[in-house]
Amino acid sequence: MISLEPSSETSKNILIYGFLDKLPELENWTEGYSPYDPKQSTDKKTLFGRGCSDQGWDLFSLLAIFLAMQNTNQKMPKINIILETEHFSKSENLFTLLQSLKD
């Protein structure tokens, strides 16, 4: 478990933005591949599937960063994270959310 307690020794306040939604599936997939059935290529170097390379790493990389900071006894600033699910539908609620959190 990662505890995200801010250090009293720093007054930094950080906002991290990322998104979790995916682009709609594309047409004309290569035969044998599907947007909803992730499959590794025959050379085992490429993963094919809807969203497999579409910034789905945000949450996982943040957790890795926090764990590394914790394991190296880094001073933890106050970190605010927004991971939205409306990125590909014009982020209609993002600015309202940011406005409500500005303080």
The pLDDT tens digits for 54-93 are 666 777 888 888 889 889 988 888 888 888 888 777 888 8
pTM: 0.59
Band the pLDDT of 32: cuts 50, 70, 90.
confident
**What average pLDDT does the structure give for the chain?**
76
Q: Between the CA atoms of 26, 27, 32 and 33, what dihedral angle is there, to the nearest 10 degrees? A: 0
The pLDDT score that the predictor gives to residue 1 is 42
Structure tokens at 99: 């406005």
Structural domain containing residue 12: 1-22+44-103
- Strands 47-48 vs 39-40: parallel, antiparallel or unpaired: antiparallel
30 within domain boundaries: no
DSSP symbols for 46-79:
-EESTTTTSSTTHHHHHHHHHHHHHHTTPPPPEE
Structure tokens at 39: 């499959």
Our count of domains for the chain comes to 1
The pLDDT score that the predictor gives to residue 77 is 81
34 within domain boundaries: no
Q: How far apart are CA 85 and CA 17, in angstroms?
A: 11
